[in-house]
Each structure stands twice: as structure tokens, then as C-alpha cells.
Amino acid sequence: MDIKDYVVVAVMAAVWIVIQILKKPVFVKLGLDDYMPLFAALLGVLFTAWIHMSMDFNLFLQGIASGFAATGMNEGINAIFFNGGES
């Protein structure tokens, strides 16, 4: 099994976009920065269930992996373009 079997790129991109939209008005303003990865994983599970209109353990793992991959992608983008700073 490869990671590509679990990370769904469309879900990862959708989660990343939602996190970026909600980052400053919700997470930063309310001091919930530490909970962003958890929220991303939850969104990944919800988006995966919505796409497949069903849920099983494999889809649950795909959603969690895609949500956490969106968080990792955000960290990578910050490291490359913003020298590791918060954006």
C-alpha cells in the first residue's frame, strides 16, 4: 500500500482551501491554532464521505490522511514561500 492509496488530492485541496479561508477569522482570532490539524482531518473525513456518499473504514482513513496532508501541504508552502513564517 502506498500513500497515494489513501490521500485523495481533490479532498486535500478542498480542505486546504477551507482552512485558508477560515484561518485568520476563526482560528487565529479565537486562539484555536493548535486545533487546525484536527479540524482538517475532520473536514477530510466529511468531504470523503460526501464524495462517495458512503462511509467505511477505508474511506475514513482516506479522509484523515487527506486532511492531515492538507496541513502538511500548508506547512510546506509556508516554508518555501514565506521562509517558515505564519501566513
How confident is the model over 9-65, as pLDDT tens digits?
A: 899 999 999 999 998 898 888 888 889 899 999 999 999 999 999 999 999 999 999
CA distance 25 to 4: 32
Nearest to 13 by CA among 60, 59, 71, 55: 71
According to the model, what pLDDT value does residue 86 have?
A: 55
Cell of 74: 500548508
Average pLDDT over residues 70-78: 87
* Residue given cell 473504514 in the structure block: 57
Query: With the C-alpha atoms ordered 61, 1, 9, 65, is the resulting torsion angle positive or negative?
Result: positive
Higher model confidence: residue 86 or residue 79? 79
